[in-house]
Amino acid sequence: MAPKPTAAGIPATVPAKDVKGSAGAAAKSGAAAEKKEASAENDALLSGDKDAAQELTNLVKIEGPAALASLGIDAVILKGLGDKKNAAGREGACTLVSHLCDQGIGHEVEPFIFDKLLNSLVEAMGDKEKSVQKAALNSLLAFVRAMSPWAAPQLLNVVLAQARSAGKWQVKTGCITLLEEMVTACPERMAALMPEIIPVMTEVIWDTKTDVQKASRAALTKLCVLISNKDIERFIPALINSLIHPVEEVPKTIQLLAATTFVSEVDSPTLALMVPLLSRGLNERPTATKRKVAVIIDNMAKLVDNERTVRPFLGKLLPGLIKMESTMADPEARSVIQRAIKTLREVGNVTGDGSDLKPLEDVDLKTTQEQVNKSLGEQSLQAQANLSAYLAVLVANLANARNFELTEWESTLIPYLTLIKGSKPEQAKAVAKSLLTALAKTTGDSVEIFEDEEEGEDLCNCQFSLAYGAKILLNTATLRLKRGHRYGLCGRNGSGKSTLMRAITNGQVEGFPSPEEVRTWYVEHDLDGSEGEMTVLDFICADERLSMSKDEAVKTLHEVGFDDARQNSPIAGLSGGWKMKVALARAILFKADILLLDEPTNHLDVVNVKWITDYLCNLKTATAIIVSHDSGFLNNVCTDILHLNRFKIKRYPGNLDAFVKRVPEARAYAELNTGEDYSFKLPDPPLLDGVKTKEKSLIKMKNVVFQYPNTPAPQLKGVSIQISLASRVAILGPNGSGKSTLVKLVVGDTEPNSGELWKHPNLVIGYVAQHAFHHIDQHLDKTPLDYMLWRYQTGEDLEEHIKSNRKLSPEELAAMKQGEVYVHEGVKRIIDEIVARKKLKNSFQYEVSFKNMSSADNIWIPRDELIKRGFEKAVMAFDSKEAQRLGMNRPLVRKEIEQHFEDFGLEREFTSHNTMRGLSGGQKVKVVLGAATWRRPHIIVLDEPTNFLDRESLAALIKAIESYQGGVAIITHSREFSEGTCKEIWSMNDGVLVASGHDWTESNSKGTKLEAQEEADEVVDSMGNVHKVEKKAKKESASDKRRMRKERMQRAKLGLGSDDEGDL
């Protein structure tokens, strides 16, 4: 019964069940409204509404990945992708994923996509609607660009499986496009995964669908960019072609590779591309082809760094080699195969054929997940399940790659750790470090972690990549610099030390502070020759970058050792050491925050090395980055070492000795030791006329005086020296004492003002100047091969033509004009040129032609008379030509030049295919050394050769000098180098030379006798043609004839016959 109404018309009482029914109805109505509102929002997200997508993005940025879970976005996207009747909804779902990845919340959505959406998005690339296919592909490309490189293995598993066996060809081509994007997004990880990628690609290139074939072959070419092995780079097109056309191309490619000398480290990407070819080659029929395959396998296996690299490929190579060994009839070929089997087993650490080989232990995800939860502690409760699982995946991949660099772990994990609710950067950093330590112990690796110091001011803290041309030097490397620290930059020649410092100077390092924030100064090796006539003070004041007064410049120059006279002397007159001090003075005046010093001790004597050491150690407000091969200097100066290795920069606290203890393979920086396969070889000189012993002098100076124009005093005062084939001379002395001036007189760059200077007429001198690169500075766009072809194109050294002893002064021209008139049989003749030379007692005479007369009128004139007539330089020039002719000009062909540079440790790749502009400092010095010794010199003169060679190269040069059969004179400030090579000392001080340890002689009466070299059966001319040499019968001497006549008479007296041809 209904309740009675009151006066107001409202029931006086309402039954309880009616009240409850009303509330329930209201609740249902509210829930329905919320559901309807949520449905409308979801429809907006799937419709491509940019405002709705941006609102979701902003919410995720505030609340983190938890917002995606609370709103059920995964269900929304999956529902959209699964709606077969609504193409717009499917496309909208893909577009939403693209938007989330592109709007700076990639880290938040990565775990979410991996856990919930990845497979559905991949399948969507095969949708019947092209617009959906395109949207799905774009969403996955956006995801690849946003994801961590260390998640690449998990994505790759899905992509490769679909590329190989997807039911729809559009999915296959989409997956291949994703592979190409991954090459760009995470090249280092993709390179490591090449052993998994290549086998799948070799199947996919034969897909029945033409579109898939074309896409896969293009992708294979792009994937091969990841192969950095110099030895096979030029063969990559042939290797790809052999995969596409195996029957025709495999034998040809094996033939090409068999002629290659492998010298570079062989890594996983290289093996991944090579193994399909080699395993196919093992099944070829010709014995010669099988033998070549075994040779290639043996050579490459020796260059594999560790067993983890080679083990995935053992099962594909060893069984075939073992089978081939049992069926090979040729004993020599069988021995080659056995050698390859032995090498593979040693490198892979196996005894069988590798077919049942268990994979090396890796960290499993379960163990990693437990460790992640343990490290997170209470925070693990706040983490989303898919985020925690994703962290475990990243940690496992880092550990399994045996990458235990703290900077790599921090840069990879911290962006995800800070997504956990309540997490702070300091906590995230501590968790990353604890995970690194724990996982390193799990894998059995010992890891030493150096904490980045938090005290002090950060001048730089950036992550960047660096390349030179097509060569990657650093990839996502981290550089952190503290004010007041002195960092030694270490790495092999060509690792990018000087390139890095140049890039910093030129503002090419991404994230490095701008010049307005941090003042950076690069201390040059050398000063620009164009300022040679300027005085030191004017040169300093002319630099617009230095905001200082003239008085300040004068004061600073005084502090670094420049008195008033030297400040007003020209730059050109300074020695190498003083030029380096000018460069340092500019750096001091610039008041730099960061000093970049590339070989600062080059050309400095002991006193000045001590000065720069003290200066750097007393720097409190500036930071220094130093490249130097002087181990003592690095030990005295450095507070930290930055090691460039495997495309990364790692900091080690302490000096060079402390660094070597932690990284034993870097011992080459501290000791003069060469590797077993690393050596230099200097070409032995030919014999000289009249020189019977190694001690006979070939160069003599007596009371020589020399003075540069416009200088107050002579640079050399009464110098007397001798040099022979046995000489091993170290020229020592402080900067500016006249060492380089003396050497320039020896090699003919300058001439003495007074005194006697004599050289053997056929003498060839090889010379490397103090500023070694001046030899090649005008030819940097040539390859070393092209440079040699230019320099020796006439058979002579074109550098000889610009020396002072080839240029005629006005006085010498006048003397020649007066002496060219020659009276013969009462007729005046005018001397034209020298055309030939022959011995005359202890000297020579020269055949001379005359102007306007035939060759029949030529006459022979003694050397002394020609010199008196003013033709001394013409005689010297002809002597140089004859020296080359008698020394047999080397064939100026590619093969000979490449071999010559290989003797100095420069690979053929750099000789023939790289311009000198792209070579490192150490490689350029090897070019200069090789060019200077091409003519097989009798005397080699080296002006501070240690300046740009690394320690290993120094040791190799010392060994080469020990076995060299000619004479050597060296200017050096390196005690290790001089003690390792020289027994004779020339001490220079203020232009005066004092010699010790010498054994000078002008006769052939004492010393080591020189033995004539055996006549060769074949001779190679300067064009590379081979000629057979007919050996002449030895002429019998008079004593031999008398002896044979006595023997005949004796035999006749005894009544004995003879069939000896000599008796006839």
pLDDT in tens, 150-184: 999 999 999 999 999 999 999 999 999 999 999 99
Query: What span, in angstroms and rounded, lies between the C-alpha atoms of 351 and 321?
Result: 14
Tokens in use for 916? 């000198």
Task: Calculate what percentage of the chain has a pLDDT beyond 90.
Answer: 24
User: pLDDT category, 302, cuts 50, 70, 90?
Assistant: confident
> How far is residue 760's CA from residue 749's CA, in Å, rounded to a whole number?
17
- What gap in Å lies between CA 791 and CA 794, rounded to an integer? 8
- Between 1053 and 909, whose confidence is greater? 1053
**Confidence at 2, pLDDT banded by 50, 70, 90:** very low
Say yes or no to pLDDT of 143 above 90. yes
Q: Is the pTM of this model over 0.75?
A: no
Residue scoring higher pLDDT (801 or 369): 369
The model's pLDDT over 612-634, given as tens digits with 9 standing for 90+, comes to: 898 899 888 889 999 887 888 99
pLDDT band at 39 (very low <50, low <70, confident <90, very high): low
With a CB cutoff of 8 Å and minimum separation 6, the contacts of 743 are 731, 767, 941, 943, 969, 971
Please say if the pLDDT value at position 591 is more than 90.
no
645 has which bridge partners?
648
State the pLDDT at residue 736: 79
Higher pLDDT among residues 607 and 721, named by residue: 721
What is the amino acid identity at position 270?
T
Q: Does domain 697-795+889-996 match CATH 3.30.160.160? A: no
What pLDDT shows up at residue 7?
37
Q: Which of 19-33, 773-787, 858-872, 1025-1039 has the lowest mean pLDDT?
A: 19-33
Identify the pLDDT of residue 1034: 60
Rg (CA), the chain: 39
Helix/strand/coil for 1054 = coil
Tokens of 794: 């006439």
Q: What pLDDT is attached to residue 564?
A: 84
Model confidence at 20, in pLDDT bands (50, 70, 90)? very low
Find, among 390, 377, 303, 412, the residue nearest to 347 by Cα. 303
Token pair belonging to 660:
């070597």
Residue whose C-alpha is closest to residue 140's, from 108, 104, 93, 187:
93
CATH fold label, 365-443: PWI domain (1.20.1390)
pLDDT in tens, 920-975: 777 888 898 999 899 889 999 988 877 666 666 777 888 888 889 999 999 887 76
Nearest 5°: CA angle at 855, between 854 and 858?
110
**What would the mean pLDDT of 885-889 be, rounded to a whole number?**
59
306 alpha-carbon distance from chain centroid: 21
Comparing 697-795+889-996 with 806-886, is the CATH topology the same? no
pLDDT confidence of residue 9: 40
Residue-level pLDDT at 119: 92
When comparing pLDDT for 466 and 526, which is higher? 466
Choosing among 2.60.40.420, 3.40.50.11540, 1.25.10.10, 1.20.140.10, the CATH entry for 235-356 is 1.25.10.10
**Domain 806-886, CATH class in plain words:** mainly beta
Q: What is the pLDDT of residue 204?
A: 94
- Cβ atoms of 1063 and 1048 closer than 8 Å: yes
The domain limits of the chain are 235-356, 365-443, 458-665, 697-795+889-996, 806-886, 1034-1064
- Please state the rounded mean pLDDT for residues 581-600: 86
* Cα–Cα distance, 343 to 349 (Å, whole number): 10
Q: Which residue has the tokens 């000198």?
A: 916
Nearest CA to 344 out of 400, 385, 299, 395 is that of 299
Confidence band, pLDDT 50/70/90 cuts, at residue 293 = very high
DSSP H or E stretch at residue 478:
strand 471-482
Consecutive H or E run containing 381: none
Confidence of residue 891 (pLDDT cuts 50, 70, 90): confident
The pLDDT assigned to 940 comes to: 93
Which of 36-45, 459-468, 480-489 is least confident?
36-45
Residue 37's pLDDT band, with cuts at 50, 70 and 90, is: low
Give the pLDDT score at 359: 66
Among candidate residues 371, 363, 421, 362, the one with its CA nearest the CA of residue 391: 371
- CATH number 1.10.3720.10 given to 458-665: no
pLDDT of residue 719: 92
CA distances from residue 219 to 133, 147, 153, 483, 924 in whole angstroms, order as listed:
19, 21, 18, 46, 37
Q: What pLDDT, on the 0 to 100 scale, is given for residue 19?
A: 45
Tens digits of per-residue pLDDT, 531-563? Answer: 556 888 888 888 888 878 888 888 888 888 888
Between 912 and 128, the higher pLDDT residue? 128
- Assess whether pLDDT exceeds 70 at residue 261: no
pLDDT band at residue 356 using 50, 70 and 90 as cut-offs = confident
Two structure tokens written together for 754 = 């007074």
557-568 pLDDT per residue, tens: 888 888 888 888
Q: Running DSSP on this structure, what letter comes out for residue 117?
A: I
Question: For residue range 396-420, what is the model confidence (pLDDT) as tens digits?
Answer: 999 888 888 888 888 899 888 888 8
Q: In percent, how much of the chain has pLDDT > 70? A: 83
Q: Two tokens at 734? A: 């402080």
Lowest mean pLDDT among 378-387, 497-506, 638-647: 378-387
